[in-house]
Structure 1
Amino acid sequence: MLKHNNFLSSVFLLLAVLFVVSCSEDENPTPDDGDGDPTGGVKYIISSYPLASEGVADYLLTVDNLMEGTVSTVGNGKEQDGTYRYYVTNNNRFFSMLYGQGNPGAVTTYELDEEGELTELSDFQSETVQAFAAIGDDILMTKVPRSGDENALWYRINTQDIEIVDEGQINVVELANNGERAHFSWLTQVGDKVFAPYFSIKGCCDDVFGTQYPDSSWIAVFNYPDMSLNTVIKDDRTSFIGRYFTEGLSVDENGDVYAFSSAVATNNGEYTSTKPSAIVRINSGELAFDQDYFFDIEEATNGYYVTLQHYLGNGKMLVMLSDVEEKAAYTVGNRFAIADVYTQTITWVDGAPDPATITNVTRTNLVENGTAYVGITTQEGSYVYEFDASTATATQGIEVEGGQITAINKLTY
Structure 2
Amino acid sequence: MNRLLKNKSLLAAFAMLALASCSNDNNSGDTDPVDSTAKDKYFLAGTSSDGTTTFTYTMAVNDLAKDTLISTNYPGTIENIGSYTQWGYSGTKALFAISYQQGNPAPGSVFQLSSSGALKKIDDFVLDKGFNSIGSFSNYLVAAANGETLTGANDGKKGSVFYSFDLNNNNAITQYGTLTEGFVGGDQIGSFVGIADAGNNTFFTAVNLAVGPSARPVNPDSIYVAKMDAQAKLVRLYKDDRLSASGGQFRSARYGQIANDSDGNTYVFSTGYGATTKKSGALLIRKDAAAFDDSYYFNIEEASGGYKLRKVWNITSDYFLLEMYNTAGVVTSTVAATQYAVVRMSTKDFKWVREGFPAVSELTSTGWPFTADGKAYISAVTPNTNPTVYVIDPLTATAKKGISISGVSAIPGMGKLSPQSDIN
TM range (shorter): 0.7 to 0.9
C-alpha separation between the residues in 2 aligned to 1:116 and 1:73? 18
Structure 2 counterpart of 1:365, which letter? F
Check whether the contact 1:51–1:404 (CA below 8 A) recurs between aligned residues: no
Secondary structure at 1:175 match in 2: coil
1:307 aligns with 2:310: yes
Q: 1:312 to 1:97 in 2, by over 3 A?
A: closer
TM-score (norm 1): 0.80
State whether residues 109 and 121 of structure 2, in contact with CA within 8 Å, keep that contact through their aligned partners in structure 1.
yes
Q: 2:217 pairs with 191, 199, 211, which one?
A: 211
Distance 1:243 1:289, change over 3 A: same
After TM superposition, give the deviation of residue 89 of structure 1 in Å.
3.1
Partner of 2:89: 89
Aligned equivalent of 1:78: 78
Corresponding residue number in structure 2 for 1:290: 293
Displacement of 1:319? 1.6
- AA paired with 1:337? A
2:283 alignment partner, one of 275, 280, 292: 280
Question: C-alpha separation between the residues in 2 aligned to 1:406 and 1:400?
Answer: 12
Q: Any conservation in 1 of the 2:314–2:371 contact (CA below 8 Å)?
A: no
Rounded Cα–Cα distance in structure 1 between residues aligned with 2:381 and 2:312? 18
- The equivalent position to 2:361 in structure 1, one of 356, 365, 369, is 356
Q: 1:407 aligns with which of 406, 409, 413?
A: 413
Partner of 1:240: helix, strand, or coil? Answer: coil
Q: Which runs of 5+ in 2 are unaligned?
A: 1-31, 150-155, 420-424
C-alpha separation in 1, matches of 2:157 and 2:388? 42
- Cα deviation per residue 1:139-188 (whole Å; 9 max; x = unaligned)? 22322127895021123222243353643211122214343322211111
Q: Paired residue for 2:338?
A: 334
Which stretch of structure 1 is more off in the superposition, 89-98 or 375-384? Answer: 89-98
Indicate if the aligned counterparts of 2:138 and 2:199 stay in contact, CA closer than 8 A.
Answer: no
Corresponding residue of 1:112? 113
**Judging changes above 3 Å, is the alpha-carbon distance between structure 1 residues 120 and 283 closer, same or farther for their aligned structure 2 residues?**
closer
Is 1:142 aligned to 2:148, yes or no?
A: no
Offset of 1:262 from its aligned partner?
Answer: 0.6
Question: More displaced, 281-290 or 147-156?
Answer: 147-156
CA distance in structure 2 between the aligned counterparts of 1:52 and 1:247, rounded to whole angstroms: 33
Q: Deviation at 1:111?
A: 2.3
How many pairs are equivalent? 367
Q: Deviations over 1:12-48 (max 9, x none)?
A: xxxxxxxxxxxxxxxx9xxxxxxxxxx8323221112
Secondary structure at 1:410's aligned position in 2?
Answer: strand
% identity of equivalent residues:
22
Contact 2:305 2:328 (8 Å CA) reproduced: no
* Structure 2 CA distance for partners of 1:324 and 1:185, relative to 1, 3 Å: farther
Contact 2:181/2:188 (8 A) holds in 1: yes
Q: 1:294 to 1:181 in 2, by over 3 A?
A: same
The CA deviation at 1:197 is 0.5
Say if 1:131 and 1:185, in contact at 8 Å, map to a contact too.
Answer: yes
Which deviations, in whole Å up to 9, do the C-alpha atoms of 1:118-145 show, x marking residues without a partner? 2233334433222232322222232212
Corresponding residue for residue 195 of structure 1: 204
Bigger shift: 383-392 or 78-87? Answer: 78-87
Which residue does 1:31 correspond to in 2? Answer: none
Distance in 2, matches of 1:355 and 1:284, equals: 37
Q: In structure 1, what is the Cα distance between the partners aligned to 2:106 and 2:81?
A: 10
The within-5 A match list for 1:191-270 is: 191-192=199-200, 193-202=202-211, 204-205=213-214, 208=215, 210-223=216-229, 225-244=230-249, 245-264=254-273
Q: Name the TM-score, length of structure 2 as normaliser.
A: 0.78
Pair 105,313 (structure 1): closer, same or farther in 2 beyond 3 Å:
closer
Give the CA deviation at 1:241.
Answer: 1.2
Unpaired segments of 5 or more residues in structure 1?
1-27, 29-38, 265-270
Do the aligned partners of residues 280 and 332 (structure 1) sit closer, same or farther apart at CA in structure 2, a change above 3 Å counting?
farther
Using the TM superposition, name which of 135-144 and 388-397 deviates more: 135-144
